[in-house]
Amino acid sequence: MTALAEAHAVRADDLVVRGLCKAYEGGAPVLSGIEFAIPSGQSVALIGANGAGKSTLLRCCMHLIQPDQGQVHLLGHDLADLKPGALRHMRSRVGFVFQKHNLVPRLSAVSNVLHGAIARSPFARSWLQGLASGALREEAMRCLARVGLAHLAARRVDKLSGGQSQRVAIARALMQGPRMMVADEPVASLDPSSGEEVMSLFANLVRKEGLTMLFTSHDLSHAINYADRVIALRNGVVALDAPSAELSVATLRALYD
């Protein structure tokens, strides 16, 4: 097997979930026997009504919370076999983008982007642009340029709009140099126009970089337009798993009835 073929084989599936179950103490099961696999480079939208288990599934897939049963293989590794340090390293290869941008309001955009390098550089040098190396600052500026905000690098993020703040959060995730991006309702806090703009930018960046993406959304048009495939959860199980090209908003909306 050639080196290229070997690399392709290793990256055949970036995320594999088998028989995943999760229940919270005293409650009914949130997830029951969830199974799916996401090939490298594919973009997948995860949909479902409130309480369907979307956010719980995302967190179980990263072992941010422990599943009760089942296996999760992330980037070729069984997460249950990893010690805490190795698990943190594995998570650092995944860029996270959430509805709440989780930025440090009093710091500049470029300083917030630098935080994406914390896993691979001394903490202080990745916290403030004034302490960062020239190479790290240049990398952070390139990430900001990729989301169209290089001109606002020095502005405090509490002076940015919601859409601009989410772009900074995306740039911070790109700063990690990830192989996969995970986003939980990434544009839910934005107005429709800003949400469309940010989601389009996000999806195009992921495709251009050849990254794998898993994102949740209540916007069914986003699920169809920005994902290669849609997985729908209903009552704790996978109710639908199909290519987005074969789906319509009406088909997806019926899953909520």
Q: How many domains does the chain have?
A: 1
Sheet holding 94-98, edge to edge: 94-98, 180-184, 212-216, 43-47, 229-234, 237-243
What average pLDDT does the chain have?
88
Tell me, yes or no, whether 213 lies in a domain: no
Tell me, yes or no, whether 161 lies in a domain: yes
Whole domain around residue 170: which residue ranges? 103-177
The pLDDT value given to residue 213:
95
Kindly report, residue by residue over 146-167, the tens digit of the pLDDT. Answer: 999 999 999 999 999 999 999 9
The pLDDT value given to residue 243:
96
Kindly report, residue by residue over 14-73, the tens digit of the pLDDT. Answer: 999 999 999 988 778 899 999 999 999 999 999 999 888 999 999 999 999 999 999 999
Tell me, yes or no, whether 23 lies in a domain: no
Tell me, yes or no, whether 55 lies in a domain: no
The pLDDT value given to residue 3:
41
Q: Rounded to the nearest 5 degrees, what angle is found at the Cα of 72, between the Cα atoms of 98 and 68? A: 90
Mean pLDDT of 236-245: 94
Mean pLDDT of 178-195: 90
Mean pLDDT of 220-239: 95
Q: Lowest-pLDDT range, 145-154, 181-190, 228-237, 245-254?
A: 181-190
Tell me, yes or no, whether 111 lies in a domain: yes
What is the percent of the chain with per-residue pLDDT over 90, rounded to a whole number? 64
Tell me, yes or no, whether 124 lies in a domain: yes
Tell me, yes or no, whether 107 lies in a domain: yes
Does the pLDDT value for residue 4 go beyond 70? no
How far is Cα 119 from Cα 121, in angstroms, rounded to an integer? 6
Backbone angles phi, psi at 103, to 5 degrees: -95, 165
Tell me, yes or no, whether 171 lies in a domain: yes
